[in-house]
Amino acid sequence: MKKLVVAVSMVCVSMGVAAQPTKYEPIKPVAPVKVENPALVELGTKLFFDPRLSRSGFISCNSCHNLATGGVDNLKTSVGDYWAQGPINSPTVLNSFGQVAQFWDGRAKTLEEQAAGPIANPLEMASTHELAVEVISSIPGYRAEFKKVFGDDKVDIKRITDAIAAFEMTLVTPNSRFDQWLKGDSKALTAEEKAGYQLFKSSGCTMCHAGEKLGGDKFMKMGLVKPYKTTNTATGVHALSGKDQDRMTFKVPMLRNVELTYPYFHDGEAQTLEEATRLMGDLQLGKRYTDKEVAQIVAFLKTLTGEQPKIAYPILPPSSNATPIFDPWAKKK
């Protein structure tokens, strides 16, 4: 009897009639955010958008993680200080909390640690933590907000990154059409989208892309079945561990809002979802998808776009006479 049930289930899936989710689905809906400290989030919002955390006074966190474009900059690799070309594709900041680690190679364990990195990275914001603290400390409006949030007006890098991380934790995208389907709305997806999801599961994609975020919870070698060929020099976890078995091992990217976060992969080489789907099938699963199968999977992936955070562009407190003067064109020391 059990074999008959399994056989019938497989036939139904192949015919695209799996109209309702089961309680065993490998993907879970995104939970709405709960803000516990509004004042800290408000401070973090301003700091996230404030370019004065950079050496040039021009680059902010939002420059590479643009909240108007899915939390990314839609470039293969980002533009940094002095128009430097970044070494790797910028991951989305949306739904970024709660991952196994931050950055493609996992070198930051928390959002707070991640927020500190770009400020002092010479290819990104190119400031120093000391200068960033000096700049923020020199702005009376910020000092007042730090006192409101922390009880005194002391500014240090930990408080700056704690505030930025608190804001980033609010950047979740619930209520995608796929989530609506998971919650029981059988009409939320088309037949093609449901077929794409069934193919996504049956192919083995959910071995890496599952849970609430469809990724972000493990590291995986890029090119499990076939080597991945790229001119990008990033080697992933290998750069930290020095172990040869870690070469080309990267954090599995989240697929939430993947329709918005092109181009794809750590090197940004895949410009379209179609191209990324074909390559992942071939390199990771050993599968050659047909054009119809690619279209079905892409249709499913586009249902993962959730409600984007509604952010009011913050009005930043003005600099004071004591604030260091920014010169984007100053010669490198």
Per-residue CA distances from 262 to 29, 71, 133, 171, 271 (Å): 22, 11, 34, 18, 6
Classify burial at 232, counting beta carbons within 10 Å of its beta carbon; exposed 0-12, middle 13-18, buried 19 or more: middle
Report the alpha-carbon angle 122-127-128, nearest 5. 105
Name the amino acid, one letter, at 5. Answer: V
Report the alpha-carbon angle 183-185-187, nearest 5. 150
Catalytic residue flag (residue 124): yes
Rg, Å, the chain Cα set: 22
List 124, 145, 193, 269, catalytic entry: 124
Q: Which stretches within 19-94 are classed as H helix?
A: 38-49, 61-64
CB 160 within 8 A of CB 154: no
* Residues with a known catalytic role: 124
